[in-house]
């Protein structure tokens, strides 16, 4: 019997790779190994609709057991891979079992960065990464008297919006001088600071948190660098993620802020590919591109499956991402970093606008708030290297789709 393709990590990237392997014509075994006790599920709703209680756990599942069986994908949940033995071509499970692989996919994802100060692990302090985290937080949120979010990134802010919708007092601390600073331009950061404040969030920028104080063995207050205590019994750590590279590193694969792959998802070992949050992509010019998104997990999964089958289907499309906070859907495409001009279409005051970012007259990125039509057109424009003029971008009567025809 031929050896299976083994996939480590049953998240969005692992599942996508498994399905894409079938689409690419692999008819041998596919073994999807996941440490979590759940079948692959959608993570984005954990900080959005699911946390709000809008739907059930079963509705989070991406593919059910039958769907996987139909494609002869064998899923083993609750199964952690402890090591990769490249010389033998085997993975070693935590229980000691060895499984030989024909090809290996690393889709180990990432984990929440722990809070680097005193009290960061007290009961009442949570990271929001997994369904199990979400369950624990939901239960705590019902009883919480005060909520604190450390880190003004997407996940923390989405959670802050949910907690406000549930009527809880919420305080957000961000170390930088603006929200979501790593990804969005200042215009968007300012819009979101206003949005959260209007919805009753107590927001502190440039805020240095020095620790979390406990009382009776439970988190009790967030201590600011200036010595002020903010009482909170539910504290969310939203200070970013760490890619799970340890297995790859110990197996001698190159890692640099992620498992280094080429745009086709290939590592230096021809039998090993990687996809999703755990990777960093080496681009043709030598730069590393690191993305943490569903699109990246899906597209790298497709590329990695093709690569294992000896085909090149590089993922080089412009990145896109979205975030739901209150009644605003933010959709981002391309990268705004390095822009020399911003043009706005629509009205920031009405919360319906798109910011177009230009560099040397070329469109490099767009952030849309409640303007999905602009975003969808933007994905195609940027992918095809097309650009409106700044005047066309600002003119609501100019149809962006006209440039695509």
Ligand X SMILES: Cc1cc2nc3c(=O)[nH]c(=O)nc-3n(C[C@H](O)[C@H](O)[C@H](O)COP(=O)(O)OP(=O)(O)OC[C@H]3O[C@@H](n4cnc5c(N)ncnc54)[C@H](O)[C@@H]3O)c2cc1C
| Under rule CB under 6 A, residue 109 binds ligand X | yes
**Binding partner of residue 153 among other proteins, ligand X, none, CB under 5 to 8 Å per kind?**
none
Residue with tokens 């071509």: 89
Can you say how many angstroms the Cα of residue 60 is from the centroid of all Cα atoms in its chain?
Answer: 16
DSSP string, 306-339: HHHTT------SPPEEEEEETTEEEEEEE--TT-
| Under rule CB under 6 A, residue 155 binds ligand X | yes
| Under rule CB under 8 A, residue 42 binds other proteins | yes
| Under rule CB under 6 A, residue 244 binds ligand X | yes
Tell which one of 19, 174, 233, 277 touches ligand X (CB under 6 A): 277
Residue 147: its H or E element: strand 147-150
- Return the bridge partners of 330, or none: 323, 369
| Under rule CB under 8 A, residue 64 binds other proteins | yes
Closest CB to ligand X among residues 313, 359: 313
329 contacts: CB under 8 Å, gap ≥ 6:
322, 323, 369, 370, 372
Closest CB to ligand X among residues 47, 336: 47
E strand map for 241-278 = 241-243, 259-261, 272-274
Query: How many helices (H) and strands (E) in the chain?
Result: 9, 26
Measured in degrees and rounded to the nearest 5, phi and psi for residue 400 equal -60, -35
| Under rule CB under 8 A, residue 376 binds other proteins | yes
| Under rule CB under 8 A, residue 291 binds other proteins | no
| Under rule CB under 8 A, residue 354 binds other proteins | no
Q: Which two tokens stand for residue 130?
A: 């997994």
Can you say how many angstroms the Cα of residue 375 is from the centroid of all Cα atoms in its chain?
Answer: 19
Please list every residue from 64 through 83 that binds ligand X, using CB under 6 A. Answer: 80-81
> What is the C-alpha separation between 157 and 150, in angstroms, rounded?
10
Site string for ligand X, 88-107 (x = CB under 6 A): -------------------x
374 in Cβ contact with 352 (< 8 Å) = no
Closest CB to ligand X among residues 233, 299: 299
Q: What is the CA radius of gyration of the chain?
A: 22
Q: Cβ 18 to ligand X, closest distance in Å?
A: 11
Tell which one of 14, 146, 334, 378 touches ligand X (CB under 6 A): 14
Q: How does DSSP classify residue 304?
A: H
> What is the C-alpha separation between 334 and 243, in angstroms, rounded?
22
Closest CB to other proteins among residues 21, 207: 21
| Under rule CB under 6 A, residue 332 binds ligand X | no
279 in Cβ contact with 263 (< 8 Å) = no
Tell which one of 52, 67, 175, 288 touches other proteins (CB under 8 A): 67
Closest CB to other proteins among residues 69, 88: 69
Q: Which residues bind other proteins (CB under 8 A)?
A: 42, 44-45, 48-49, 55-56, 58-64, 66-68, 70-71, 294-295, 298, 322, 324, 329, 331, 370-373, 376-377, 379-380, 401
Q: Which residues bind ligand X (CB under 6 A)?
A: 8-14, 33-36, 43-44, 46-47, 80-81, 107-110, 128-129, 155, 244, 247, 276-278, 292-295, 297, 321-323
């Amino acid at each position: 019997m031929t050896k299976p393709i083994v996939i480590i990590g049953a998240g969005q990237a692992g599942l996508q790779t498994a399905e894409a392997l079938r689409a690419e014509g692999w008819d041998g075994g596919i073994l999807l190994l996941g440490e979590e006790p759940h079948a692959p599920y959608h993570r984005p709703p954990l900080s959005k609709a699911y946390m709000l209680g809008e739907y059930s756990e079963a509705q989070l599942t991406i593919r059910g057991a039958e769907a996987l069986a139909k494609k002869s994908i064998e899923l083993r949940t609750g199964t952690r891979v402890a090591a990769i033995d490249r010389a033998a071509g085997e993975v070693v499970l935590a229980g000691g079992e060895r499984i030989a692989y024909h090809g290996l996919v690393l889709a180990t994802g990432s984990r929440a960065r722990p809070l680097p100060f005193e009290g960061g692990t007290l009961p009442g302090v949570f990271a929001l990464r997994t369904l199990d985290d979400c369950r624990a937080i939901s239960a705590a949120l019902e009883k919480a008297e005060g909520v604190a979010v450390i880190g003004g990134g997407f996940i923390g802010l989405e959670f802050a919006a949910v907690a406000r919708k549930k009527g809880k007092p919420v305080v957000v601390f961000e170390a930088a001088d603006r929200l979501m600073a790593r990804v969005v331009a200042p215009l968007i950061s300012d819009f979101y600071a206003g949005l959260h404040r209007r919805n009753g969030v107590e927001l502190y920028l440039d805020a240095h948190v020095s620790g979390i104080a406990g009382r009776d063995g439970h988190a009790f207050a967030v201590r600011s660098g200036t010595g002020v205590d903010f009482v909170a019994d539910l504290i969310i750590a939203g200070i970013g993620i760490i890619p799970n590279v340890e297995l790859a590193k110990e197996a001698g694969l190159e890692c640099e802020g992620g498992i280094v792959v080429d745009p086709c998802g290939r590592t230096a070992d021809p039998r090993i590919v990687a996809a999703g949050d755990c990777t960093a992509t080496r681009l043709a010019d030598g730069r590393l591109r690191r993305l943490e998104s569903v699109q990246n997990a899906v597209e790298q999964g497709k590329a990695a499956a093709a690569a294992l089958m000896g085909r090149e289907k590089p993922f080089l499309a412009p990145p896109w991402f979205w975030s739901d906070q209150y009644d605003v859907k933010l959709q981002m495409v391309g990268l705004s970093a390095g822009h020399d001009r911003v043009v706005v279409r629509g009205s920031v005051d009405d919360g319906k606008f798109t910011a177009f970012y230009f560099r040397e007259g070329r469109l490099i990125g767009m952030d849309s708030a409640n303007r999905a039509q602009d975003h969808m057109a933007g994905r195609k424009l940027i992918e095809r290297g097309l650009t409106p003029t700044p005047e066309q971008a600002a003119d609501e009567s100019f149809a962006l789709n006209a440039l695509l025809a």
